[in-house]
Amino acid sequence: MTLPPAFRVMDVEDVSLDLPSQFPLVTLVESEPPLRTLVFPVGLTEGTALALALRRMDSPRPMTHELFSQVLQRARIEVIAVRLTGRDQGNYVAELDIMAPTGRERIVCRPSDGLVLALRMPVTAPILVDERLLEQAGDVVPQSI
Protein backbone atom coordinates (compact mmCIF):
# COMPACT_ATOMS: atom_id res chain seq x y z
CA MET A 1 0.00 0.00 0.00
CA THR A 2 1.42 3.37 -1.04
CA LEU A 3 1.19 6.19 1.47
CA PRO A 4 -0.25 9.49 0.26
CA PRO A 5 2.32 12.22 -0.37
CA ALA A 6 3.40 14.43 2.51
CA PHE A 7 3.33 18.12 1.69
CA ARG A 8 5.29 20.97 3.29
CA VAL A 9 3.95 24.53 3.42
CA MET A 10 6.34 26.94 1.74
CA ASP A 11 6.57 30.67 1.08
CA VAL A 12 7.91 32.49 -1.95
CA GLU A 13 11.00 34.16 -0.54
CA ASP A 14 12.43 35.71 -3.68
CA VAL A 15 12.49 35.96 -7.44
CA SER A 16 15.92 36.95 -8.71
CA LEU A 17 17.83 37.24 -11.95
CA ASP A 18 21.59 36.78 -11.86
CA LEU A 19 23.14 37.88 -15.11
CA PRO A 20 24.22 36.46 -17.52
CA SER A 21 21.44 33.90 -16.92
CA GLN A 22 18.29 34.63 -18.88
CA PHE A 23 16.02 32.80 -16.44
CA PRO A 24 14.83 34.21 -13.11
CA LEU A 25 15.15 31.89 -10.11
CA VAL A 26 12.24 31.37 -7.71
CA THR A 27 13.19 30.57 -4.13
CA LEU A 28 10.66 28.81 -1.92
CA VAL A 29 11.38 28.34 1.80
CA GLU A 30 9.56 26.10 4.26
CA SER A 31 7.27 27.98 6.64
CA GLU A 32 8.43 25.88 9.59
CA PRO A 33 11.72 24.17 10.52
CA PRO A 34 13.89 22.77 9.11
CA LEU A 35 13.41 25.72 6.66
CA ARG A 36 14.64 23.91 3.56
CA THR A 37 14.66 25.75 0.25
CA LEU A 38 13.62 24.84 -3.25
CA VAL A 39 15.06 26.95 -6.08
CA PHE A 40 14.01 26.59 -9.71
CA PRO A 41 14.11 28.66 -12.91
CA VAL A 42 11.10 30.16 -14.66
CA GLY A 43 10.66 32.13 -17.86
CA LEU A 44 11.37 35.86 -17.88
CA THR A 45 7.70 36.85 -18.31
CA GLU A 46 6.61 34.47 -15.55
CA GLY A 47 9.39 35.71 -13.27
CA THR A 48 8.25 39.31 -13.81
CA ALA A 49 4.63 38.39 -13.05
CA LEU A 50 5.72 36.51 -9.93
CA ALA A 51 7.92 39.38 -8.71
CA LEU A 52 5.02 41.83 -9.13
CA ALA A 53 2.59 39.51 -7.33
CA LEU A 54 5.07 38.89 -4.50
CA ARG A 55 5.42 42.64 -3.97
CA ARG A 56 1.64 43.15 -4.34
CA MET A 57 2.22 45.50 -7.27
CA ASP A 58 -0.02 45.93 -10.28
CA SER A 59 1.33 46.54 -13.74
CA PRO A 60 0.21 49.67 -15.64
CA ARG A 61 -2.04 47.46 -17.79
CA PRO A 62 -3.27 44.12 -16.39
CA MET A 63 -0.99 41.21 -17.25
CA THR A 64 -2.56 37.84 -18.02
CA HIS A 65 -2.19 36.62 -14.43
CA GLU A 66 -3.81 39.78 -13.04
CA LEU A 67 -6.68 39.46 -15.48
CA PHE A 68 -7.15 35.76 -14.74
CA SER A 69 -7.14 36.31 -10.97
CA GLN A 70 -9.84 38.98 -11.40
CA VAL A 71 -11.90 36.61 -13.54
CA LEU A 72 -11.57 33.86 -10.90
CA GLN A 73 -12.65 36.22 -8.13
CA ARG A 74 -15.64 37.57 -10.07
CA ALA A 75 -16.70 34.02 -10.93
CA ARG A 76 -16.47 33.21 -7.19
CA ILE A 77 -13.70 30.68 -7.71
CA GLU A 78 -11.18 30.42 -4.89
CA VAL A 79 -7.65 29.14 -5.23
CA ILE A 80 -7.43 26.85 -2.19
CA ALA A 81 -3.80 25.87 -2.73
CA VAL A 82 -1.07 25.41 -5.30
CA ARG A 83 0.84 22.13 -5.07
CA LEU A 84 4.20 21.24 -6.54
CA THR A 85 3.72 17.52 -7.01
CA GLY A 86 6.63 16.22 -9.05
CA ARG A 87 9.66 16.80 -11.25
CA ASP A 88 10.17 15.47 -14.78
CA GLN A 89 13.56 16.00 -16.45
CA GLY A 90 14.20 19.06 -14.29
CA ASN A 91 10.77 20.58 -14.90
CA TYR A 92 8.45 20.87 -11.91
CA VAL A 93 4.86 19.67 -12.10
CA ALA A 94 2.13 21.55 -10.27
CA GLU A 95 -1.60 21.76 -9.81
CA LEU A 96 -4.12 24.34 -8.64
CA ASP A 97 -6.66 23.24 -6.08
CA ILE A 98 -9.74 25.42 -6.62
CA MET A 99 -13.21 25.69 -5.15
CA ALA A 100 -15.82 26.76 -7.69
CA PRO A 101 -19.58 27.16 -7.19
CA THR A 102 -19.85 23.71 -8.82
CA GLY A 103 -17.38 22.09 -6.39
CA ARG A 104 -13.73 21.40 -5.83
CA GLU A 105 -11.37 20.78 -8.75
CA ARG A 106 -7.68 20.14 -9.36
CA ILE A 107 -6.12 21.63 -12.49
CA VAL A 108 -2.63 20.88 -13.77
CA CYS A 109 -0.57 24.06 -14.22
CA ARG A 110 2.95 25.36 -14.49
CA PRO A 111 4.41 26.09 -11.04
CA SER A 112 5.00 29.75 -11.95
CA ASP A 113 1.35 30.24 -12.98
CA GLY A 114 0.08 28.54 -9.83
CA LEU A 115 2.35 30.64 -7.61
CA VAL A 116 1.29 33.91 -9.24
CA LEU A 117 -2.40 33.06 -8.90
CA ALA A 118 -1.94 31.95 -5.27
CA LEU A 119 -0.25 35.26 -4.47
CA ARG A 120 -2.85 37.30 -6.38
CA MET A 121 -5.81 36.00 -4.36
CA PRO A 122 -7.29 38.36 -1.71
CA VAL A 123 -6.03 35.87 0.87
CA THR A 124 -2.82 34.24 -0.33
CA ALA A 125 -3.42 30.55 -1.01
CA PRO A 126 -0.98 28.11 0.61
CA ILE A 127 1.93 26.79 -1.41
CA LEU A 128 2.39 23.07 -0.80
CA VAL A 129 5.42 21.12 -1.94
CA ASP A 130 5.68 17.34 -2.00
CA GLU A 131 8.37 16.55 0.57
CA ARG A 132 10.11 14.21 -1.87
CA LEU A 133 11.04 17.26 -3.98
CA LEU A 134 13.03 18.56 -1.01
CA GLU A 135 14.68 15.22 -0.28
CA GLN A 136 15.39 13.61 -3.65
CA ALA A 137 17.33 14.67 -6.72
CA GLY A 138 16.18 13.79 -10.22
CA ASP A 139 12.71 12.84 -11.37
CA VAL A 140 9.89 12.58 -8.82
CA VAL A 141 6.68 11.01 -10.11
CA PRO A 142 3.55 12.80 -8.84
CA GLN A 143 1.38 10.71 -6.53
CA SER A 144 -2.38 10.86 -6.23
CA ILE A 145 -3.84 12.42 -3.11
pLDDT tens for 8-60 read 999 999 999 988 989 999 999 999 999 999 999 999 999 999 999 999 998 88
CATH code for position 83: 3.10.690.10
Q: CA-CA distance, 85 to 41, in Å (whole number)?
A: 16
Assess if residue 1 is contained within a domain: no
Assess if residue 106 is contained within a domain: yes
- Overall domain count for the chain: 1
Q: Which residues contact 81 (CB under 8 A, 6 or more apart)?
A: 96, 97, 118, 125, 126, 127, 128
Assess if residue 142 is contained within a domain: no
Reply yes or no on whether the pLDDT at 90 is more than 90: yes
Assess if residue 27 is contained within a domain: yes
Assess if residue 140 is contained within a domain: no
Reply yes or no on whether the pLDDT at 142 is more than 90: yes
Whether 13 contacts 27, CB under 8 Å? yes
Q: What is the mean pLDDT of the chain?
A: 94
pTM for this structure? 0.93
Q: CA-CA distance, 86 to 20, in Å (whole number)?
A: 28
Q: What is the pLDDT of residue 1?
A: 65
Assess if residue 95 is contained within a domain: yes
Structural domain boundaries, residue 114: 7-135
Assess if residue 145 is contained within a domain: no
Assess if residue 26 is contained within a domain: yes
